[in-house]
């Protein structure tokens, strides 16, 4: 139990999500701006949601971004957390605050906002609340993606566990239950493609190396990297440089 708690502390779910959603949307990356933390107002007021800004008129082809407009608020709940009713109101409140926190009146039109809620498990209580209390309609657009209509702001709920590997390999693999060899092999192929190297090789700049081990006793945390005696679960390529710098 203590080991599981330590492993959970070591995992940095939000940085991993920030990295993987950029990979998912890389086809349209030149038309998007990602803000991991948004500063509200002149005083230190940060909201722990992701802001994705899109070029006006640009249509996003990727399934998770089809509802995107110019300003898109994204809330992510880790596999260890749950998307609650109050989480919905918190994010909705953040969205309204984000709209109003500008120097010019109505510079962010309500028509240019969207909300995306990302969670590992189907949020049954929240969806029941949306349907019965707010009279919203919740429709399954495709595997793992639910559109919520009835509000002026378009809303979608993404359930990563229900996403398909063919369409959303990175987000689906953002889990603490990654146990299938087939999924791990697909992730390895994607790492090879993104880094441009094969297993056993190092990138020309020397920043990244790619090696495989048969077993490190942490299947539920895959993919993992071992440095010394530390096991880093769910490591992303963008995390490698910082980890090395911290060890120097």
φ, ψ at 128 (rounded to 5°):
-60, -40
Summarised one tens digit per residue, pLDDT across range 184-202 is: 676 677 667 776 788 888 8
Q: What is the per-residue pLDDT for 225?
A: 62
Q: What is the per-residue pLDDT for 103?
A: 87
pLDDT higher at 5 or 108? 108
Residue 223: asked if its preceding bond is cis (omega within 30°), the reply is yes
Work out the pLDDT band at 10, boundaries 50, 70, 90.
Answer: very low
Q: What DSSP assignment string belongs to 149-191?
A: ESSSS-EEEEEGGGS-HHHHHHHHT-SS----HHHHHHHHHHH
Count CB-CB contacts under 10 A for residue 18: 19
Within 13 Å, how many C-alpha atoms sit on residue 23's CB side?
A: 23
Instruction: Find the DSSP H helices in 42-138.
Output: 85-100, 124-132
CA separation, residue 94 to residues 40, 74, 120 (Å):
10, 10, 22
For the record, the structure tokens of 173 come out as 């693999």
């Amino acid at each position: 139990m203590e080991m599981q708690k330590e492993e959970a502390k070591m995992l940095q779910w939000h940085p991993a999500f920030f990295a993987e959603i950029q990979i998912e949307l890389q086809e349209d990356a030149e038309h998007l701006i990602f803000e991991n933390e948004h500063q509200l107002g002149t005083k230190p007021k940060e909201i722990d949601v992701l802001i994705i800004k899109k070029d006006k008129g640009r249509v996003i082809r990727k399934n998770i971004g089809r509802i995107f407009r110019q300003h898109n608020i994204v809330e992510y709940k880790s596999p260890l957390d749950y998307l609650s009713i109050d989480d919905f109101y918190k994010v909705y409140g953040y969205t309204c605050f984000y709209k109003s926190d500008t120097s010019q009146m109505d510079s962010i039109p309500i028509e240019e906002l969207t909300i995306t809620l990302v969670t590992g498990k189907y949020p049954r209580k929240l969806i029941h609340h949306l349907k019965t209390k707010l009279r919203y309609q919740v429709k399954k657009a495709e595997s793992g993606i639910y559109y919520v209509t009835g509000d002026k702001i378009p809303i979608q709920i993404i359930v990563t566990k229900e996403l398909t590997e063919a369409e959303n390999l990175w987000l689906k693999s953002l889990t603490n239950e990654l146990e299938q060899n087939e999924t791990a092999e697909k992730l390895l192929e994607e790492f090879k493609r993104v880094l441009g190297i094969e297993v056993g090789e190092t990138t020309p700049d020397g920043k990244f190396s790619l090696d495989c081990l048969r077993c490190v006793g942490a299947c539920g945390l895959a993919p993992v990297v071992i440095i010394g005696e530390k096991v880093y679960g769910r490591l992303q390529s963008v995390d490698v440089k910082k980890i090395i710098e911290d060890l120097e």
